[in-house]
Structure 1
Amino acid sequence: MNTFWENIWKFPKFIFSVFVGFFLTAAYPIFQLSKNPKILYFVIISLGLISGFLYITFKFMLGYT
């Protein structure tokens, strides 16, 4: 029974490392593109537009005015 609780205690650390690894792996191409200043501006503007679109979409979906 002791090993069961040890495994349960390790689970949040495992989930955290999986999420961090996923986001770092997904963001790696963006970091590579950011070496070129013209592409960096495009990436920043694109991320801003996407986040603004998601904000407006969620705002209307949840009924906030």
Structure 2
Amino acid sequence: MNNLWKNIKKFPLFLIAVFIGFFLTTIQPFFKLLKNNKNKVLIPIIMTIIFVIIYNILRLMLEIK
């Protein structure tokens, strides 16, 4: 039973490490794209459009005015 509680105490750290790893592997291709000068302008525009679309979808789903 003692081993169970040790594992339960380690779970939040594991969960944080998984989230950090997920975001780092997701964002890494964007940093590679930023090395090209053409993409330095294109990437922020695309990310802004995606953010605006997600914001509007959530606003409409949650009926926030």
TM-score by length of 2: 0.91
2:34 is aligned to: 34
Structure 2 residue runs of 5 or longer lacking an equivalent are none
1:58 is aligned to: 58
Percent identity among equivalent residues? Answer: 42
Structure 1 residue runs of 5 or longer lacking an equivalent are none
AA aligned opposite 1:35: K
TM-score by length of 1: 0.91
Alignment partners' CA distance in 2, 1:33 and 1:23: 16
- How many residues of Structure 1 are paired with residues of Structure 2 in the alignment? 65
AA aligned opposite 1:61: M
Comparing 32-41 with 9-18, which one deviates more in the overlay?
A: 32-41
**How far apart are residue 16 of structure 1 and its match?**
0.8
- The CA RMSD over aligned residues, in Å, is 0.9
Alignment partners' CA distance in 2, 1:27 and 1:64: 29
